[in-house]
Amino acid sequence: MSKHAFAPVALVLLVLAVVPAFAANTTINFLVSALIVTLAAQGWNLLGGFCGPFSFGHAAFFGTGAYVTAVLQSRYGVNAWVGFAAGIAAGALVGGLIGWLSFRAGLRGSYFALITLAFAEVFRIVANAIPLTGGATGLLLKLDVRPANFQFASRAAFAWIALACVVAVLALSIAIARGRLGAQFAAVRENEDAARALGIDVLATKLRAICLSGAVTAAAGGLYAQYFLYLDANIAYGSWISVEALLAVIVGGIGTPAGPLFGALALHALGEATKLFAGAITGIDLVLFGLILVGAIAFAPAGIAGSLQTLMARWRR
């Protein structure tokens, strides 16, 4: 990402950093939800956008991060920050497991996408049945408002933490895109056989991508658990997060570091506006998401980030 292309991203991040200091709780709730989806979308982008394998089941990582964070606190009394870190590590491990089983079997394209969807559904069924996760009743975290317990009296503090996570992953994505690992990811994405001929270990490269992706998406799940203090299987492993993470990247710009941020903010803003003006129509936001997806693929395949880069390049010329 060039310094000129980074200007709109810096402006958006600056606005997001200032808004929580003055906004009402409803606005902060919207912002935190959008940032959590942004983080999950960034995780998806590290795998599907940078390295190539498309996933329909990133809920497997999101739910793992959320449940590990919550279960360690509620069942075993582990500190919330430690539980959050453990959830991130668990997401990376689950990513490595799914990747090792799938990539060693040679699964690509729609086959890999469907196997990730299957894993997410299996995790949802298991979490809905076992007592450790609260079963169908769900899991309620104890309200203990202390920074040491990852709970804050001000919702703005949590918004800033979520934003810090998004900025950290954005910096990581830029570093990867500019570095050797990013070049390996791009080679595998474009042509695995050619990458293998160049001496790239394709399996190891894809495993690195899915482990990074799982860790980042699990961080989004951990933030969700800490903010809302309640989980059930349909929330943690539900298809909603897989769909929103995928849509945010497609609308924002696949393979671009800033795409998930632009896409998640745009989708959440349009979704909330649609609910406000047509809230009586059930599922109207999903209809809108579908129309946006079709429009993005047909008229802006590079997404918001790619379109902004094109416009800025034309303006400079």
Domain boundaries, given as residue ranges, for the chain: 3-316
- Whether residue 143 is predicted with pLDDT greater than 80 in this model: the reply is yes
pLDDT digit string, tens, across residues 232-265:
999 999 999 999 999 999 999 999 999 999 999 9
CB atoms within 10 A of CB 103: 20
- pLDDT value, residue 5: 62
Query: 3-class secondary structure for 104-168?
Result: HCCCCHHHHHHHHHHHHHHHHHHHCCCHHHCCCCCEECCCCCCHHHCCCCCHHHHHHHHHHHHHH
- pTM for this structure? 0.93
**In this predicted model, what pLDDT tens digit does every residue of 153-207 receive, in sequence order?**
999 999 999 999 999 999 999 999 999 999 999 999 999 999 999 999 999 999 9
Q: What is the Cα Rg of the chain in Å?
A: 19
The answer to whether 69 and 220 have CB atoms below 8 angstroms apart is: no
Q: 113-122, 218-227, 246-255: lowest mean pLDDT where?
A: 246-255
CA neighbor of 38 nearest in space, from 220, 286, 288: 220
Share of the chain above pLDDT 90, in %: 74
